[in-house]
Amino acid sequence: MQKKRILSGMRPTGKLHIGHYVGALENWIKLQDEYQNFHLIADYHVLTTHLNTDDIYQNTIEMLIDWLAAGLDPEKSPMFRQSQIKEHTELHLIFSMLITLSRLQRNPTVKDQLRYLHIKQVIYGHVGYPVLQSADILLYKGDAVPVGEDQVPHVEITREIARKFNNQYGNVFPEPEPLLTKFSRLPGLNGDAKMSKSLNNTILLSDAPEVVKSKLKKAVTDPQKIRKGDRGHPDICLVFSYHKKFNTDEIPEIDAGCRSGKLGCFDCKMNCAEKISSFLEPIREKRKYYLKNLDIVKDILTDGEKRGREVAQKTMADVREKMMMG
């Protein structure tokens, strides 16, 4: 029996942070045996917010190295760039006819981005962001899309477009489901609801232990717990949410220690930094290997693009057959 398919991707905006790992990457790695995975480097999507492409190739390689170092297996899971498989843009054009502008203007992620990035004028391609994303997913007939919770509205739009296409021209596409991780969002070091490069509140997968420590030292904690001895509220503390992910064994003690005041924020943070660093250690080691062997990384991309292209071409042949042959 054919395995169910996963398509998921990220925009190459540079090195990844632990929020990317916890929100999506971890799930990709876990699911790559059960599913046939395809992973997309959404380089065209970057243009919706950054017209300058000087760093795009470098960022692509950095991100790919992080994917590999975290445990994505290039044999099982082809990885490729959107810009190198032209069927993405072709299917995007067709899909742009199958959805209304008012539906896209209701998409909450565009509104969010405008707010976060202080963008005043929306470009045409930015409103169309989820249409290109729908093409990304459906080109590989993705059954499941493991993403962070912020991406769920885009998967919903993808389902609508798939349904519309299938009704209009005949059955080609599945209606994909989002797959969320338990911690689909990690708060940022500054107390913001999410980690985000543009908010400068992240811990990178590549951060050395000293860096993790110094970043955690500055992390915002419960404002009512000013010194050791004060009673804290772990449920509103972002350091506690990192413990929940990276230090599961000690949760009851930390919870009790913080609430009673016996545990001070400094000790709690240093403990957390250690746990995060030991989690990152094998990833950092593997990163070093790939950084030294960039040829291997480039070959992985070439191979992934060849395998991705084959699938994409088949789907497009199917689409044209259904649409254009009467």
- Cβ distance to ligand TRP smaller for residue 10 or 91: 10
- Cβ distance to ligand TRP smaller for residue 45 or 159: 45
Q: How many residues does the chain have?
A: 326
- Cβ distance to ligand TRP smaller for residue 145 or 283: 145
State in angstroms the smallest separation of the CB of 153 from ligand TRP: 10
- Cβ distance to ligand TRP smaller for residue 103 or 262: 103
Residue 10 sits in the site that holds ligand TRP (CB under 6 A): yes
Residue 8 sits in the site that holds ligand TRP (CB under 6 A): yes
Q: What is the DSSP pairing of strand 36-41 with strand 79-81?
A: parallel
When binding is defined by CB under 6 A, the residue of 26, 62, 87, 136 that contacts ligand TRP is 136
State in angstroms the smallest separation of the CB of 60 from ligand TRP: 13
- Cβ distance to ligand TRP smaller for residue 129 or 290: 129
Residue 131 sits in the site that holds ligand TRP (CB under 6 A): no
Residue 269 sits in the site that holds ligand TRP (CB under 6 A): no
Interface positions, 138-157, toward ligand TRP (CB under 6 A): 145, 147, 151
Whose tokens are 């997309």? That residue is: 40
State in angstroms the smallest separation of the CB of 188 from ligand TRP: 16
When binding is defined by CB under 6 A, the residue of 7, 22, 179, 265 that contacts ligand TRP is 7
When binding is defined by CB under 6 A, the residue of 133, 181, 201, 315 that contacts ligand TRP is 133
Interface positions, 24-43, toward ligand TRP (CB under 6 A): 40, 42
Residue ranges binding ligand TRP (CB under 6 A): 7-11, 40, 42, 45, 133, 136-137, 145, 147, 151
